[in-house]
Every structure is written in structure tokens, then in C-alpha cells.
Amino acid sequence: MASVWQAYRDRQSWKRTQTESRLLVKECRRIAKKKAYRIPEAVAATLEDACGAVERALDTNDQDATREALNHLDEHMDKNLAFARKSALREYSESIGTAVAIAILLRAFVVEAFQIPSGSMIPTLEVGDHIFVSKFSYGINIPFSDRKLVDFGIPKRGDVVVFKYPLDPTVDYIKRVVGLPGDRLEIKANQIYVNGEPVTREHRGECEFSEGTGARPCDEWIEYMSGNAHRTIFNAYGLGTLMEEKRVPDGHIFVMGDNRDNSNDSRVWGFVPVDLIKGRALVVWYSRNPNAGSLTSPSGAVLWFKAIRWDRFFTSVD
């Protein structure tokens, strides 16, 4: 068993030596070409001879010879190319800086992660869901501002959008778009009317939902908007939501939560300016019960792991 393990370690060591050798030869020739105006011809010839020695040693599959040639090349580079070689600290700094810059650009222009803090969008989104939001669905904003560089239009009815809360722009909300600019909206006994026409829906039956305070009875309906279907729920035995007809102003949208009787939305605080929309919800990438388990103990960690809702991973937000 020991001999097998040693053979495995030897193979891995040889692979590392091969990789290091090829990378160093590549780096040497790159610097020699880029900085040729600063390198005397004799030094350039010496460096090329050292690179050739490494390649010949690699061809022989002789690890000791390759390692010796590699060290020889490294010494020549330290002596003659130190002015152009990057230190380990610089390499790490540049790698980390590049990764951070890419992350900032992705967050600013492509996608952003959000966590669902309340049950206002149950059953579509549950407390503890983590979602990705497309930042370019409706346009490309100037980073850290509400001004658009490119405008792709406004949401469709039925889109689930993240936006800055109009009464406190430091807070992000997520709701479903129900009304567009110019729409006339009215609600009678939980039925939404858009421009005088009822939104098509069908009753699914009784249901239950929970926000961490125990199960509560509800009625489930399927609504159809812009050719897509989504689930909505209402408190069981409720009196039904009423809203007198309102016209959505230009440049605004009207939003509601899918948990219709338990949502703080446009029915309460009014319309959402289109400029405050941050993006459209795309997918749930991670989900777990936020009230279950803690990582402070082994038993808590087990409960924490069990609380992960695997069935919700990478489900689209419709």
C-alpha cells in the first residue's frame, strides 16, 4: 500500500514540475520579447539557451534533470529579468483586484443576489429564498444611480420585479407588476380588473401557508397575465380585497404581492416610479428555513442542514 501511495505522489510531483516548467519558459520568452529593448543580445541568448534546456529535459521525462534545468532558468531570470517579473504579492493583488472588479461589474450591470425577508410573495417566493435578479431586463443603469444608459422598456404585467421602496429608497422590495402606465385598475372581491376587464383566474382550492408562526389556512388561485400563469393566495374566510378604480400615472407601475391579504404594496403606499426598478427576478438559487438550526453546535448544524429546501434550488421565478 505504501509503495502505491509513493508512486501516486511521484506522479503528482512530476505533473507539477512539468506545469511549472512550461509556465516559466512561457513567462521567460514573453518578458524577453516584450522587454527586448532593455535586454542585451548576449543575455537574451543565455535566457533562450536556458529555456531550451528545460524543454529538452521535459522531452526526456527525466524529473531530476527537468528540476535542475528549471532552477537554472529561474536563477537566470532573477538575475536578468527581475525588473519585469511580478512578485508573488503583486500576482495575488492583481488576481484579487481583477476578481473584485469583475464582481462589481456583474453586480452593477448583469445580476444581483437578493434574499426574501417576508412572506408577501408566498407561494411564488418563500421566506429564506435567495434569488438572482437580472439588472439588464429593462435597461442598463449608471452604477449607483437611477439614471439609465440604455432603456429596454418597462416590465410586462405579471413580471416579478425588485425595486427601491418609494417611501424609503434605501430599502428594496419585491412584488409582482399588476398595472402599467395608463392602466385603470379596480379590485372587487379579490378580482382584479384592468381597463374594465377582469384578469383571468381559476380557483385551485384550499391551502396552507406559514411565515414561521404556524400554518394558516388560505385559498389558492391561478392568475393569468401576459400569457403566463402564477399562483396567488388569499386568507381563508376573508371578506375579500376592495379597491376603487385608480389610474396608473405615466412613468409608474402598480405592484402587488402574491400573498394578497398579507402584502404591503401599491394598495397601501401607491405607485412605483419606473426609475426605481432594479431588475426582474430570475431564479431561486438557494433556499432554507431561516428559523431552523444554528451552526453554533453539532446538533444545530444538523438542523441547519436539514432546513435546506433542496426542491427549491434553481427554480425559476414566474
| Residues known to be catalytic | 120, 175
Backbone angles phi, psi at 275, to 5 degrees: -65, -20
Would you state the cell numbers that stand for residue 202, as one nine-digit string?
381559476
CA dihedral 98, 104, 105, 110 (to 10 degrees): 130
Q: Are 120 and 259 in contact (CB under 8 A)?
A: yes
Percent helix, strand, coil in the chain, to 5, is 35, 30, 35
How far apart CA 73 and CA 88 sit, in angstroms, is 18
Q: Identify the helix (H) or strand (E) that includes residue 56.
A: helix 41-59
How far apart CA 92 and CA 304 sit, in angstroms, is 34
Would you state the cell numbers that stand for residue 9, as one nine-digit string?
505522489
Residues 6+ apart with CB under 8 A from 252: 181, 271, 272, 273, 274
One-letter identity of residue 57: A
DSSP classification of residue 288:
B
How far apart CA 222 and CA 200 sit, in angstroms, is 8
How far apart CA 32 and CA 30 sit, in angstroms, is 6
Please give the order of strands across the beta sheet that includes 216-225.
201-209, 216-225, 228-235
Across the strands, what pairs with 184? 247
